[in-house]
Copies of this chain bind each other. A is one copy, B any other.
Amino acid sequence: MLGRLCDDLIGAGVHGLTPLGSTGEFAYLSFTQRRRVVEVAVQAARKRVPIVAGVASTTIADAVAQAREWQRLGCDGILAILEAYLPVADEGVYAYFEAIANAVSLPLVLYTNPNFQRSDLSLPVIERLSRIANVRYIKDASFNTGRLLSIMERVAGRVQVFAASSHIPACVMLIGGVGWMAGPACVAPRQSVALYELRRKGDWSAAMGLQRRLWSLNQAFAKYNLAACIKGGLELQGYAVGAPLPPQAPLSADGIEDVRRALAAIGAL
């Protein structure tokens, strides 16, 4: 099922795949399950597009072990996530991401999601990390688009920014973002690629027209449990992916209707 989905997404033109992000339920999977997800994605991609797999842990040792294993399995990049239970100071945050970067030769995407993680990346830490050669991208899933512009100005020439589903991708691309790397794109791959192409042409008017139609999908993802949302949407598209892992609840009837409407409006059903 995951293999077929990866294959279909590549067929729809996406420029990369990111297994084990927030929407991909990394936080609900054991190491063994995570490894299987990565293997399937790598095999399905057959090097047609890069695989950027999520590494997430509360400890440096475990994160480094994941990153090395994902590289060994053939991934092309690492999406690095710091989980925390007790608070971590800036020095610890830096040490965590630095250790992952040093453990692999792959490029890193820093990922911070202050809504779900108990740690965040401060601007000074991002600037320090941007000076590590293979720290190349950042995905900030706050709702604060202005913060992305502040990040861009501090790391210009070294690190590039991806939009998350909490941002308006067209806006992130206007201010200099290189794309969007987010759950909703998984059920709207053609439209997401089309948005990217309009941005490449600099046709901001057409891009905003498309963006406006796509936005209701982002709104659904903000309103409901991310994993329930993506699985509900994929089920509507014919992928029997089932429900999110308990005790998470499947998408409610209202949620299914919202997602169905959002997908239908953009021709993704």
Contacts and interface: CB of A to CB of B under 8 A. Distances in A.
Copies in the complex: 4
B86 A226 contact: yes
A13 interface: no
Contacts of A171: 145, 168, 171, 174-175
Interface of A: 22, 27-28, 30-31, 58-62, 82, 85-89, 91-93, 95-96, 99, 116-118, 142-147, 149-150, 153, 166-168, 170-171, 174-176, 202, 204-205, 208, 211-212, 215-216, 218-219, 222, 225-227, 244-249
A122 to B, nearest CB: 13
16 contacts: A22-B86, A27-B85, A58-B245, A59-B247, A82-B247, A86-B225, A86-B227, A88-B248, A143-B146, A149-B212, A150-B215, A168-B171, A170-B175, A175-B208, A175-B211, A204-B204
A249 B95 CA distance: 10
